[in-house]
Chain A
Amino acid sequence: MQINEHKQGDVTIVTIDDHLDTASAPQFEERLLGLVDAGALKILIDGAALAYVNSAGLKVFLMVAKKLEPLGGRMVISSLQPSVFMIFEMIGFTRIMKIVPTRDEALRELGAPPTATS
């Protein structure tokens, strides 16, 4: 699993790829909670390259969303592959998290201008 991040305006865009599982979830957790601790309030997680997630990975999404809410922050997830989206739906996260089909929609949700090139 690789995690990359960059800023676009006040939005922190995080991309993850491959497998988010029990072995890699601690790294993802540390990185994301670190961003929140450093003051990031608008986090966009682009899951286009994420092929697989298990409950350990799902818990990190829940942790981050729960941590951001009382701070007035927001996490938006975009571009999930159908098999991964199905897992988010199954666990009820589509009710409590904003999940949109594209990165541009996620940027709009977070009040940032869409990317010039997509």
Chain B
Amino acid sequence: MHEGSITIHVAADVREIERLNQLVRRFGELHEVPSRTLYAVNLALDELVTNAVLYGFDDPQGRQITVRIAAAAGELVASVTDEGKHFNPLDAKVPDLAAPLAERDMGGLGIHLVRSLMDHVGYSRDDDKNVLTIRKHFR
């Protein structure tokens, strides 16, 4: 594993997420991050950026989202920052995984995945920006 970090700016558009995933994969391979870790972090970033695009802006056109990723000491740390309205996805209702099919709700699935895949998920509102931080350990 090699230490390093990268900052990626993407347009607030869900079609940008595949490009983001490719860049994250390349960063991970370069820094010898295990592929399982990379897969989990990519999915978590996908969910967080999707949330920001869909719910963070009244009009996402022309808006940007910033993703930072750092690899160090057996851990990947990433953040997703947007200048949209105050929105904390961690407030989402926790899905009831034991509910029968007819009662299963569509909401909260993405953020449940993020919480399940990551070792840490945090939200802060800094300088009128939403900042989501995730951490994933690996050996």
- Chain A residues close to B by CB (< 8 Å): 19, 21-23, 52, 54-56, 58-59, 62-63, 65-66, 69-70, 83, 87, 90-92, 95-97
Contacts and interface: CB of A to CB of B under 8 A. Distances in A.
Contacts of A21: 14, 17-18, 46
B109 A91 contact: yes
B60 interface: no
A54 B101 contact: no
A95 B97 contact: yes
A109 B116 CA distance: 31
Contacts of A55: 47, 50, 109-110, 113
Q: Do most interface residues of chain A lie in helix, strand or loop, or is the interface mixed?
A: helix
Given A62-B104, A83-B36, A92-B104, 17 more contacts: A21-B46, A22-B17, A54-B50, A55-B47, A55-B110, A56-B50, A59-B106, A59-B109, A62-B106, A66-B101, A66-B104, A69-B102, A90-B112, A90-B117, A91-B113, A92-B97, A95-B97
Contacts of B50: 22, 54-56
Leading 9 A-B pairs by shortest Cβ distance: A92-B97, A55-B110, A22-B14, A55-B109, A96-B101, A22-B50, A23-B14, A90-B116, A23-B15
